């Protein structure tokens, strides 16, 4: 059975979740792993010299647990789908014994290309970015489990984004860059087409 992993990375508030949800509605047998689900508890997040809790670093996340979740899908996508409430298409069910059908996993998050054990798992790597002003504006409308204290965006979030982006580009993934300023419909169409082509090449 063919397995296919799609990375949806990019800046905070770039539109990763919006795109991911749209793909989940349309791709067959598609499961998702959200990096946001692996944030440690607030009291486990270290406070930097700048006085801010350091949310935007890889150590703020339980990456071991995230990798294990991805491995769980790789080992048994059917079981994973069932235990995560993803319904499988009848075609896939029937062909289980015939080694046919495709299983897709979307890995979504702001640091999915900055952790060694995850770097080589992707069949497709997308990366959404938006400019500073728009990112700051969108972020100001969002409330996380722990709300941003004043100055966090300029003092921590954006500088860490720039740092990680540089690191990621040195890791030399084959990234497909998406402009998060275009409509979510256009972004979806572009990504959808790219995925369809990749799937066709693999069949
Ligand atoms: N293409 C887009 N154009 C304008 N706004 C968008 C677009 N995609 C998402 N948004 C908005 O930006 C905010 C962050 O979107 P979200 O998908 O949650 O981003 P992320 O998961 O990358 O943090 C939300 O308010 C969402 O409605
Ligand atoms: N989910 C949480 O518990 C939590 C708490 C505080 C900050 N955050 C923020 O989440 C961001 C990453 O998620 P998004 O890419 O969805 O914005 C980081 O910039 C981080 O500052 C998340």
Q: Complex ipTM, two decimals?
A: 0.99
Against a cut of 0.80, is the pTM above it? Answer: yes
Parent domain of 171:
3-101+116-179
Helix axes 16-26, 184-202, angle to 10 degrees: 50
Say what the pLDDT of residue 143 is: 95
Q: Is residue 199 part of a domain?
A: no
Q: What is the pLDDT of residues 102-134, one digit of tens each?
A: 999 999 999 999 999 999 999 999 999 999 999
Nearest to 108 by CA among 11, 16, 5: 16
Secondary structure of residue 142 in the 3-state scheme: coil
Q: Is residue 191 part of a domain?
A: no
Q: Is residue 188 part of a domain?
A: no
Ligand nearest the Cα of residue 129 is 1
Ligand 1 midpoint to CA 40 (Å): 23
Q: How far apart are CA 12 and CA 56, in angstroms?
A: 10
Q: Is residue 72 part of a domain?
A: yes
Q: How far apart are CA 183 and CA 199, in angstroms?
A: 24
Question: Per the structure, how many domains does the chain have?
Answer: 1
Instruction: Tell whether ligand 2 has an atom less than 6 A from the beta carbon of residue 146.
Output: yes
Q: Is residue 107 part of a domain?
A: no
Q: Is residue 144 part of a domain?
A: yes
Q: How far apart are CA 109 and CA 10, in angstroms?
A: 7
Ligand 1 midpoint to CA 138 (Å): 7
Ligand nearest the Cα of residue 179 is 1
Q: Is residue 53 part of a domain?
A: yes
CATH number at residue 165: 3.40.50.300
> Residue 45 in contact with residue 54, Cβ under 8 Å?
yes
The question of whether 50 is a catalytic residue gets the answer no
Q: Tally Cβ neighbours within 10 Å of residue 50.
A: 12
Q: Is residue 106 part of a domain?
A: no
Ligand 2 midpoint to CA 69 (Å): 19
The parts of the chain modelled with pLDDT lower than 70 are 91-100
Residue 105 in tokens: 């996993």
């Amino acid at each position: 059975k063919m397995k296919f992993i799609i990375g949806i990375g990019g800046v905070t508030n770039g539109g990763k979740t919006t795109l991911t949800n749209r793909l989940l509605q349309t791709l067959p047998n598609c499961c998702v792993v959200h990096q946001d689900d692996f944030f440690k508890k607030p009291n486990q997040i270290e406070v930097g010299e700048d006085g801010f809790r350091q949310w935007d670093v890889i150590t703020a996340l339980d990456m071991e647990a995230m990798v294990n979740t991805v491995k769980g899908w790789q080992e048994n996508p059917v079981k994973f789908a069932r235990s995560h409430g993803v319904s499988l298409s009848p075609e896939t069910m029937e062909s289980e014994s015939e080694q046919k059908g495709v299983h897709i996993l979307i890995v979504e998050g702001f640091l999915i290309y900055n952790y060694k054990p995850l770097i080589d798992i992707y069949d497709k790597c997308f990366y959404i970015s938006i400019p500073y002003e728009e990112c700051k504006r969108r972020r100001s409308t969002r409330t996380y489990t722990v709300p941003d204290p004043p100055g966090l965006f300029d003092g921590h979030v954006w500088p860490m984004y720039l740092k990680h982006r540089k690191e990621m580009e040195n890791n030399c993934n084959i990234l497909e860059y998406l402009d998060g300023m275009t409509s979510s419909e256009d972004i979806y169409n572009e990504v959808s087409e790219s995925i369809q082509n990749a799937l066709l090449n693999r069949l």
